[in-house]
Structure 1
Amino acid sequence: MVREKGSAVVFSSLVLLVAVVFYVYARASQTDLSGDRYSLTARFISANGLHVGADVQLAGVPVGRVTDIVLDPVMAVANVRFTVDRALSLPNDSAVVIGSATMTSDNSLMIQPGKAKDRLTAGAVITNAQEAVSLEQQVSNYIFGNGGLPSDSAP
């Protein structure tokens, strides 16, 4: 009987240890442990499909991570805070888009660098932000051109 209790304690301890290791790994992968990054904020009408911990990409290369998504109740927009590598010097007119490289991958925040000479500084707010396009809208755009919506590029 003592032997059964001992093996149950050992097995339970092992399961608990594995759970703790997994938790620490999960938290570390969602946290920016590097001090070589700076924070920016983007304002979206909708941050649907984006989550804290999502990659921030530039030219398909991960350069940061989404750290916070909060609703601004006054302006009724989603403020998405994210970090990027300090080595990046992004132009002031850069844009951000919520999207994914493939239809099966998670959404990420994609940076589209602008051409301005002035650069974004730590804590800057990017207002040129586009939310993700739904799968239904993508299919409609493919079948019907622009889905019957007025074109933004029309004169």
Structure 2
Amino acid sequence: MGVVSAFVAGLLFAGGLAVAQMTHAHKVVAFLDLGPNWDPSLAFVMVGAIGVHLALRRLVLRRRQPVLAVQFEQPQRSDIDGRLLAGSLLFGLGWGIAGFCPGPALTAAGGGVSEALLFVPAMLGGMGLFAVVDRLLVRARSPQPKEAASNACG
């Protein structure tokens, strides 16, 4: 049932992105560009999404448990650290330059949009590069094992 509900939720999300025209990179770039050609229409999408979320979140969290899961998944952290800021900066730069973020890019690629078909492999490459760099940074930050006693002076 989880796979079916995830698929239906994905279809609903993709449909919303398409109706809101967030799968059109030029529309997103026109929204993010506050110059004379600014297109504020995507602000209505954001306000609508926030409104739906605010209305439904309280109703949903009144339940003891979700309908299709064992427990509600809630964020465990609320702090703002360097990693979050760096990730936000990279995400914003990529979104502003390309006009795509992951959800709309995958939706547009599924529709055969040529820009998205170029963007998605680059996005996946960036995700892979992040995984490698993150693993190396975690390894570099972790304490190194002490040398064996046989190497000690004496």
Do they fold alike, i.e. is TM over 0.5? no
Shorter-chain TM-score tier:
under 0.3
Larger RCO, structures 1/2 (Cα 8 Å, 6+ apart): 2
Q: Which structure shows the bigger proportion of residues in strand conformation?
A: 1
TM-score, L = length of structure 2: 0.23
